[in-house]
Chains A and B, each alone.
Chain A
Amino acid sequence: MSETGDPLEWYRRMQRLRRFEARAAALVESGEIVGAVHEYTGEEAVAVGVCAALREDDIITSTHRGHGHILAKGGEPRRMFAELLGRESGYNRGRGGSMHIADFSRGIYGANGIVGAGAPMACGAAHAFRTRAEDRVAVPFFGDGAMNQGVLLESFNLAVLLSLPVVFVCENNGIAITSSTEEMTPGGVAPRAAGFGLPSRSVDGMDVRAVHEAATTAVRRARAGGGPSFIECRTVRYSVHNIAAGALPRESRSEAFMEAARRRDPIERLAGELDRERGWRQGERTEIDENVEGELDAAVEFARAGRRPDAKTALDFMYAATYPDFPARGWEP
């Protein structure tokens, strides 16, 4: 998805993320998505604000809570739904699922089921950009929980050391499953990154303008050869950690907290600003919403129509070349 400073477009993109997740949740509920989904709802301003500061040829890495990042970077809803439903028409031909969607043509180097695992990949890509004198930028998204994974801290160090064009984006939603960020990350998120020598900022992640502004500054610096930086986006996930049929309940936050969070809603906030600034025509919001709904309904239908992978293909793509006597031991479909 292309770079844009247009608040109307931000609104459209945030709404696409939110309504996508509402459908994903319904598909989990109905049993069409088998397994768990981590909803991005509440955090839309982060993915949209950051990705709107990126060019199509910039790259991102994503997380277990990745739908938002992928959509914001231009991922096609229909191929995403198809992946969630495990169809051949999905991004990974039904082999990746919610936590591993990737689209290299759009610089989406993949969601990742392992916390923190995307950051070293982003560093490697950024190193390649520098080596080839390309002015592209790499953006790893990760949660606050990842701030305690060794590999993320190793990535900070490498990025600073090699002055890589990386913008680290931490989505601090205050919680990792049930662990409080405040408790688990003594010294705070942004100061920790600063300790590595990363220019580090903390912004209101419920404010798409603030996120976009911080990202634009950081991306510009990285593109110009000024090295890596770090943005903490303070946000809230509205849903429980993940949803799955029959999952155990695990909401540890109070209803009062959740209510206060919803009053900071990033989409309503931007909509309010657009109202006040007369940023859109009468009825334009409804038009956009209906458009998004139509697009997503069609996407779900596309996904449903897809074919499921054949068990006989279980070994395809395991290696660059497969040959008849390559071991497929212990199993006959």
Chain B
Amino acid sequence: MAEMTMIEAIRSALRLEMERDERVIVMGEDVGQLGGVFRATDGLRQFFGPSRVVDTPLAESVIAGSALGLALTGLVPVIEIQFLGFAQNAYHQICQQLARSRYRTRGAQPAQITVRAPFGGNVRTPEFHSDSMESQFAQNTGLKIVMPASAPDAKGLLLQSIRDPDPVLFLEPLRGYRMISGEVPDGDYTVPFGALRTVREGSDVTLVAWSGSVPVAAEAAELLDAKGVSAHVVDLRTLVPLDEAGLVAALERTGRCVVVHEAPATAGFGAEVVALLQEQAFYSLEAPLRRVAAPDSHYPLPGVERDFVPGAGLVVRAALETLEA
């Protein structure tokens, strides 16, 4: 065990897997010489050389598209998109080429590729740099969506992603890079997909979150605690695959549920969670299911982003409302 920040955990996973599996190759803008604009790939080039840690041109589409070619010839690419917003320039490659290769070729051409991208707000970056776009990608069948919220998960889920035989979009909460830290197991260590994490046990209301919203839900739980309300907090970890049974069980603990996310409410992944619980656990519900999300608006300027990204206060309010219902 070692205390690490999330960015350190990510870096250690990359290093470990590149040592363990020489098929792994890292590509992206400024990942080599600079070690990534957030230093996720810092030092990799010195260890593994420029042919395995490739600085690419400023061209997201070809970074993603060429990853498929690499994968089809037996390598295991881990590509970095500098900010998730720029992955829109590679959307076709990721969602229509990478994500469909296995299905279209009836298993002949799987795409073992990890697409890493930081995203999320409250780090003083403007639109394109802060937007939470997970649900836009989650609609693309064939793509797995992994969103760690803790340092040990960042390592364990990244190792799992790189080894997963399918393309994975691995989303890293920018705000957590250096703010979130924790005890990370040494050596090889994986976290399975589709198994949510219970952040905190509780009996009155269930808070569901993922990635950068997990600390918000945890903070809300503390505030609720002070009001005598016991919140049960779960971190989904992976949106695709989704831990449906775990979600239902988490709801059944309390009969009440608030889903928290940073993406705008309309067609955000919270809608999926709420719909699923309504379908599978309707008779366990004690109150209407609630979503706390960003407004249906573009990401605003840094000066006012705190009004945009849902904070713990809104979560507390929604949770108390479910208890009044």
Name B61's contact: one of A150, A177, A179, A332 (CB within 8 Å). A150
Tell me whether chain B's interface is mostly helix, strand or loop, or mixed: loop
The interface residues of chain A lying within 8 Å CB-to-CB of B62 are 150
Q: Are B300 and A308 in contact (CB under 8 A)?
A: no
A224 to B: closest C-beta gap in Å:
34
Interface stretch, picked from A10-18, A91-99, A161-169, A205-213, is: A91-99
The interface residues of chain B lying within 8 Å CB-to-CB of A34 are 124, 301-303
Interface stretch, picked from B26-34, B98-106, B201-209, is: B26-34
* Range for the number of chain B residues in contact with chain A: 35 or more
A-B CB pair tally, cutoff 8 Å:
132
Q: Are B302 and A97 in contact (CB under 8 A)?
A: yes
> In the complex the two chains form, what is the Cα distance from A331 to B295 in whole Å?
5
Cβ of B58 under 8 Å from chain A: yes
Q: Are B265 and A327 in contact (CB under 8 A)?
A: yes
Cβ of B125 under 8 Å from chain A: yes
Interface stretch, picked from B192-200, B238-246, B278-286, B306-314, is: B306-314
Name B30's contact: one of A149, A179, A245, A331 (CB within 8 Å). A179
The interface residues of chain B lying within 8 Å CB-to-CB of A96 are 301
Which residue of A is nearest B42, CB measured?
A: A248
What 0/1 pattern do residues 245 to 257 of B give for CB contact below 8 A with A? 0000000000000
> In the complex the two chains form, what is the Cα distance from A314 to B293 in whole Å?
14
Q: Are B58 and A315 in contact (CB under 8 A)?
A: no
Interface stretch, picked from B15-23, B126-134, B135-143, is: B126-134
Which residue of B is nearest A241, CB measured?
A: B37
Cβ of A160 under 8 Å from chain B: no
The interface residues of chain B lying within 8 Å CB-to-CB of A185 are 57
The interface residues of chain B lying within 8 Å CB-to-CB of A177 are 29-30, 34, 37
> In the complex the two chains form, what is the Cα distance from A50 to B294 in whole Å?
42
> In the complex the two chains form, what is the Cα distance from A327 to B303 in whole Å?
24
The interface residues of chain A lying within 8 Å CB-to-CB of B297 are 314-315, 318
Cβ of B275 under 8 Å from chain A: no
The interface of chain B, by Cβ under 8 A from chain A, is 29-30, 33-34, 37-39, 55, 57-59, 61-62, 85-86, 89, 124-129, 264-266, 268, 270, 291-298, 300-304, 307-308, 310, 314
